[in-house]
Structure 1
Amino acid sequence: MTSTGIIDARDALREVMAVLAEIPAAGDEVEAVDRISLLESIKAACAAGQAADTLRLQELRSAAEAERGVPIERRCRGLSAEVALARRVSGNAGGRHLGFARAMGEMPNTFARLREGSLSEWRATILVRETGYLQVEDRRVIDHALCADAATLDGVGDRALEALAKQLAYQRDPQAVVDRNASAPKDRRVSMRPKPDAMVQLSALLPMKAGIAAYAALKQHADALVGDGDRSHTQIMADTLVERLTGKARAEDLPVAVDVVVSADVLLADSSAAAEVPGYGPIPADTARDLITDALDADALVTLRRLFAAPDSGALVAMESKARIFPSGLRRFITRRDISCRFPYCDAPIVEIDHAHPHHDGGATDALNGLGECRTHNRQKESFGWQVTTAIDDDGTHDALIRTPTGHEHRSRAPARDTDEAA
């Protein structure tokens, strides 16, 4: 209760969580299905509540910054990072959630269906994505056509919903659709994500004709070879992709540098603790030794660089420099220590090494004050009201305390390294 006797909304939400946690198991199959459906509706209503509070946060922040004289084009910078931390997601996801909330202010029927639980957050996101490039009045016409009546989308699958939104968008503004398709190729890219079992997923976002042509070429080659040997159709396609991209018959023949952070005990086979490949993640000790052995057997250049770690936690120890710019050795050290962006819930690769306490305010250029960050979070934490302090814990682990403009605190510890030896 507040001093005025009104129930704090936060207390009410905590009570809802407590009630949900104490509900006993369903008595029969019918009740189980009904409850699954109701819980899905509750999730949607919660998403609507988050969107409403995100819009309110933006309104309050914008008003406060206007009062401080912040130019309109600079207002609410860093807000998506705050939303991301509050929702325990990456910075990119925080930006999407902020954009989603803003869209709900322009799509009242979609927002209403989300509030009542008849439209999921993901399906609402599809509508936001497929109308985001239109004028507001056109967006609202589509919003009314698809969501004014909750029954309109009953039984409609996600792909069909996307197709409906695209069709209506083209009817409202054909030129906007043409312009969108024409500008899309600028977003073409290749990316890599770590996968289990020492595998990676290499992905390419390509213009439609180029992507179809590339896949068709791989498939046609595999069709001609399937049955010739013990490789499957999909394995042949994967091998052919590597061969055609690199000009080598085997991926093992490529002159690629792979950094492996490994303890001396693991290197000498006296421990089974995990090693680390920066940009990929932990790998088994045997895999790390195999990588090094294969490189030596192939007469590849193998260099050894010593990094010293605290004995208890395995945390890498400090280095420092008097320069403002982090020199290459110190940058490499911080990158190995932090592995990925140090903002909580952000798995993005490290792009920039930044001073936690700003250099212009006396912050040192050393490992204690240095943080590995993605470009987005490095920019956003420079906004008004953000503060980052660093320390070394008793076990030698680097610790960062991130304080947002609202005073909320989020702690980030450098990833621990496995120092246990084999039994």
Structure 2
Amino acid sequence: MPSVVVAGLRDSLAAIDAVTLSDHERVALVAELERLKAAAAACQARATDALRRSRGVVAPQDVARSVGSEVALARRESPSCGDRFVGLSRALVHEMPCLMAALTEGLTSERAAVEVVRETATLSREDRAEVDRRIAEVLPRLSARAAGRAAARVAAELDAASVVRRMEAAVKSRRVSVRPAPDGMAYLTVLGPLRDVVGAHAAILRRARSVVGGQCEDEAPYDRGVGAVSADTALRLLAGLLPGQVQPVEVQLVMTDRSLLGTGDPERPVDEPARIPGHGSVPAPVARSWIRGAGPASVWLRRLYTSPDGRDLVALESRRRPFIGGLRRVLVLRDDVCTTLYCDAAVVHVDHAHPVRDGGSTSAWNGNGKCVRCNLVKEAPGWRVVVERASPHEILTVTPTGHAYRSQAPPVLGWGSETHPPPDPPPTGDSALERHLERMLAAVA
């Protein structure tokens, strides 16, 4: 089988001892491995397109979605990246032979191929082939971004109208998104028309420079630079807040009572990191400073109940206000992100692993958080999702080709946190849990 041959090649790479090589040989090895990666991407593209064509009996939209998700799991990436690779594979195999040849020979990279295919997406098959022919000679000398710019330049020359239509259509995709960044930060991205975004950026910079220069009576710089003031101004304006006003949006910060209050199980560390579902861990001192800085009027405490070893979330208290959907909140907190392996998208749908139409129950055991895309994909022919076990909650996803992928819900404090055995029960009197909860509530009050 080809997969066995490739696996043997992969194993042979581990036998290379880079320590015994000269510097010239090491650099040559790195270069050749880069060419091997490109050739592997070309081989993946051929296999992916053959997989897509083998599903011709299914509706085209279902084919694209299902194959994209299967490829994403195999490549260990998100479903949207899987979709992009399916489109790339189709273009390489059927429309851009020169680009495919360069990738197969290791003369360009997968990233450069993505840029070229994206910049020619609106062209006809004939014009795309012409772009492919005209940039083929210079492609090995171009970086990924330069290859994309070269393709865009030829595309604008061949069919300016399609480029204009693409720019007009792009306006419909304007949006605001957020993604985590290192060190407890996050990126808030506004995708919009160039002139509007540039104008907004210029206005924020003018305001920031005025604040830093001491020219604004309503706001002082407080040792902030232009960049920090720009970020603070943009976030405040987007949230509709006045200077100094507290952000009223709920952020679900999960942390142990030990880390928050210093009480509880003395065997657990005081600085055990907290977690924001969907965004990752936050150092305990930072989480405590956030809570102190928010003020008592804007902080709510909700008790979460875990399994005895502290790994899994099993229930939560719902005393803040009456609401419908407490079970949904438990599942969002438990699963953190979409339960499809490698997806990492935010949980939007809370889904029944075993469908209700087939007798599946609405319970924490049978529930799992999904993004919109993955929840739709699992309904396509040949897909199956099964709950393997309850603690830790484990989901088995089986694709139409029979490949199986297991994903687990993270520990309640996130991946990398330790589990702690339950303490010995007290000999007599009230339970340790009741006494501990009373102390915790008294400390907050």
TM-score, with length taken from structure 2: 0.83
- AA paired with 2:394? D
- AA paired with 1:124? A
Query: Percent identity of the aligned residues?
Result: 40
1:234 to 227, 240, 244: 227
The CA deviation at 1:73 is: 5.4
Question: Which 5+ residue runs of structure 1 have no aligned equivalent?
Answer: 1-7, 320-325
Corresponding position: 1:309 with 2:309? no
Q: Secondary structure at the match of 1:180?
A: helix
1:218 to 195, 199, 204: 204
Corresponding position: 1:39 with 2:22? no
Q: Secondary structure at the match of 2:89?
A: helix
1:146 to 125, 135, 154: 135
Q: How does 1:137-286 map to 2 (within 5 A)?
A: 137-147=126-136, 149=137, 152-226=138-212, 228=214, 230-250=223-243, 253-270=246-263, 271-286=270-285
In the alignment, the residues of structure 2 paired with residue 160 and residue 295 of structure 1 have an alpha-carbon distance, to the nearest angstrom, of 47
The structure-2 alpha-carbon separation of the partners of 1:381 and 1:142, relative to structure 1 and needing over 3 Å to count, comes to: same
Q: 2:106: which partner in 1?
A: 117
The structure-2 alpha-carbon separation of the partners of 1:279 and 1:19, relative to structure 1 and needing over 3 Å to count, comes to: closer
Q: Secondary structure at the match of 2:99?
A: helix
In the alignment, the residues of structure 2 paired with residue 12 and residue 96 of structure 1 have an alpha-carbon distance, to the nearest angstrom, of 27
In the alignment, the residues of structure 2 paired with residue 61 and residue 180 of structure 1 have an alpha-carbon distance, to the nearest angstrom, of 29
The CA deviation at 1:202 is: 1.1
Q: How does 1:248-397 map to 2 (within 5 A)?
A: 248-250=241-243, 253-270=246-263, 271-297=270-296, 299-300=297-298, 302-317=299-314, 328-392=325-389, 396-397=391-392
- AA paired with 1:207? P
The structure-2 alpha-carbon separation of the partners of 1:387 and 1:158, relative to structure 1 and needing over 3 Å to count, comes to: closer
- AA paired with 2:294? A
Q: Secondary structure at the match of 2:73?
A: helix
Q: 1:99: which partner in 2?
A: 87
- The 10-residue stretch of structure 1 (263-272 or 374-383) with the greater mean CA deviation from structure 2: 263-272
The structure-2 alpha-carbon separation of the partners of 1:79 and 1:153, relative to structure 1 and needing over 3 Å to count, comes to: closer
The CA deviation at 1:296 is: 3.9
In the alignment, the residues of structure 2 paired with residue 27 and residue 419 of structure 1 have an alpha-carbon distance, to the nearest angstrom, of 41
Does the 8 Å contact 2:62/2:380 carry over to 1? no
- AA paired with 2:119? E
Q: 1:405: which partner in 2?
A: 400
- The 10-residue stretch of structure 1 (252-261 or 46-55) with the greater mean CA deviation from structure 2: 252-261
The structure-2 alpha-carbon separation of the partners of 1:171 and 1:249, relative to structure 1 and needing over 3 Å to count, comes to: same
In the alignment, the residues of structure 1 paired with residue 170 and residue 61 of structure 2 have an alpha-carbon distance, to the nearest angstrom, of 25
Does the 8 Å contact 1:273/1:419 carry over to 2? no
The CA deviation at 1:403 is: 1.0
The CA deviation at 1:143 is: 0.8
Q: Secondary structure at the match of 2:350?
A: strand
The CA deviation at 1:279 is: 3.3
In the alignment, the residues of structure 2 paired with residue 50 and residue 233 of structure 1 have an alpha-carbon distance, to the nearest angstrom, of 46
Q: Secondary structure at the match of 2:387?
A: strand
- The 10-residue stretch of structure 1 (219-228 or 408-417) with the greater mean CA deviation from structure 2: 219-228
In the alignment, the residues of structure 1 paired with residue 121 and residue 71 of structure 2 have an alpha-carbon distance, to the nearest angstrom, of 20
Does the 8 Å contact 1:189/1:205 carry over to 2? yes
The CA deviation at 1:246 is: 3.5
2:78 to 72, 83, 90: 90
Does the 8 Å contact 1:109/1:144 carry over to 2? yes
In the alignment, the residues of structure 1 paired with residue 253 and residue 224 of structure 2 have an alpha-carbon distance, to the nearest angstrom, of 30
In the alignment, the residues of structure 2 paired with residue 208 and residue 161 of structure 1 have an alpha-carbon distance, to the nearest angstrom, of 22
The CA deviation at 1:399 is: 0.8
- AA paired with 1:59? R
Does the 8 Å contact 1:274/1:284 carry over to 2? yes
The CA deviation at 1:291 is: 3.1
Q: 2:440: which partner in 1?
A: none
- The 10-residue stretch of structure 1 (106-115 or 72-81) with the greater mean CA deviation from structure 2: 72-81
Q: Secondary structure at the match of 1:101?
A: helix
Q: Secondary structure at the match of 1:311?
A: coil
2:54 to 37, 57, 60: 60
Q: Secondary structure at the match of 2:290?
A: helix
Aligned-residue Cα RMSD (Å) equals 2.2
In the alignment, the residues of structure 2 paired with residue 74 and residue 191 of structure 1 have an alpha-carbon distance, to the nearest angstrom, of 26
- AA paired with 1:103? A
Q: What is the number of residues matched between the two proteins?
A: 395
Q: Secondary structure at the match of 1:33?
A: helix
Does the 8 Å contact 2:251/2:276 carry over to 1? yes
The structure-2 alpha-carbon separation of the partners of 1:348 and 1:163, relative to structure 1 and needing over 3 Å to count, comes to: same
- AA paired with 1:411? R
> What whole-Å deviation, never above 9, does each CA across 1:324-366 have from its counterpart, x for those lacking one?
xx95111111000001000011110001011111111111111
TM-score, with length taken from structure 1: 0.87
Does the 8 Å contact 2:271/2:284 carry over to 1? yes
In the alignment, the residues of structure 2 paired with residue 89 and residue 57 of structure 1 have an alpha-carbon distance, to the nearest angstrom, of 18
- AA paired with 1:16? L
Q: Secondary structure at the match of 2:72?
A: helix
The CA deviation at 1:27 is: 2.3
> What whole-Å deviation, never above 9, does each CA across 1:353-381 have from its counterpart, x for those lacking one?
11111111111111111110000111011
Q: 1:5: which partner in 2?
A: none
Q: Secondary structure at the match of 1:365?
A: coil
